Amino acid sequence: MRYYGDCTLSEDNIGSSRRVEILIALIDEFIIILLILIGIFGALVYFNKVSLGLAILLVACLAGFSFFVIYLIYRAQVMKPLVGGESLIGKRGIVVGDLAPEGIVSIEGELWRAVSVNGKHISSGRFVRVVGTQGLNLLVEELDERHIEKSLS
């Protein structure tokens, strides 16, 4: 997402630099968990409370579980929103009430307030694509004939 004041414009997917940031943070957490487990079970082995084989097995199992949980967290962080206006970014709709530059559009059978991104008038019945959100309003741009034909075929 790109933020312009109180306006959010979408990129097609999350940027690669953002993915790397999330991944580095989660790997850091995994390493800390692993070091804590090794320290705990190392102390137990040192004081002969647990055998070395059992300690290695327990550390491997707990590290595998931690890795799985961290993978689920990563997947949730990079996932597109499923609800709200942000989930409509990239979707196509039809203008129900003229956009001059504000009006009503129908997207997936729901009526939304919309604002034309470039401020131009868009007539009722024309096709638009959602490019962002501004509060509770959708920011839309008009689709030209080439985009309409591609989406219909």
| pLDDT tens digits, one per residue of 72-100 | 999 988 887 777 777 888 899 999 989 99
- Alpha helices (H) in the chain, listed in sequence order: 16-46, 52-78, 145-152
Asked whether residue 90 falls in the same domain as residue 66, the answer is no
Long-range CB pairs of 1-9, under 8 A, 24+ apart, other chains included: 1/86, 6/134, 6/135, 7/132, 7/133, 7/134, 7/139, 8/86, 8/132, 8/133, 8/134, 9/131, 9/132, 9/139
What's the confidence (pLDDT) of residue 118?
A: 87
Asked whether residue 70 falls in the same domain as residue 109, the answer is no
Asked whether residue 92 falls in the same domain as residue 145, the answer is yes
Q: Give how far Cα 122 sits from Cα of 110, 112, 142, Å.
A: 19, 15, 7
Percent of the chain's residues with pLDDT above 70:
84
**51 pLDDT exceeds 60?**
yes
Please tell me the pTM assigned to this model: 0.56
What's the confidence (pLDDT) of residue 152?
A: 52
Among 78, 102, 121, residue at a domain's last position: 78
- Average pLDDT of the chain to the nearest whole number: 85
Query: How many independent structural domains does the chain possess?
Result: 2
Among 53, 78, 103, residue at a domain's last position: 78
How do beta strands 92-97 and 2-4 pair? unpaired
Asked whether residue 120 falls in the same domain as residue 72, the answer is no
Q: Give how far Cα 22 sits from Cα of 11, 27, 72, 79, Å.
A: 17, 9, 12, 12
Answer yes or no: is 137 within a domain: yes
Compute the radius of gyration of the chain from its Cα atoms.
25
Q: Give me the domain span that covers residue 134.
A: 85-152
65 or 6, which is more confident? 65
| Residue pointed to by tokens 């096709």 | 127
CA–CA dist 7, 108 (Å, integer): 22
Asked whether residue 72 falls in the same domain as residue 89, the answer is no
Answer yes or no: is 34 within a domain: yes
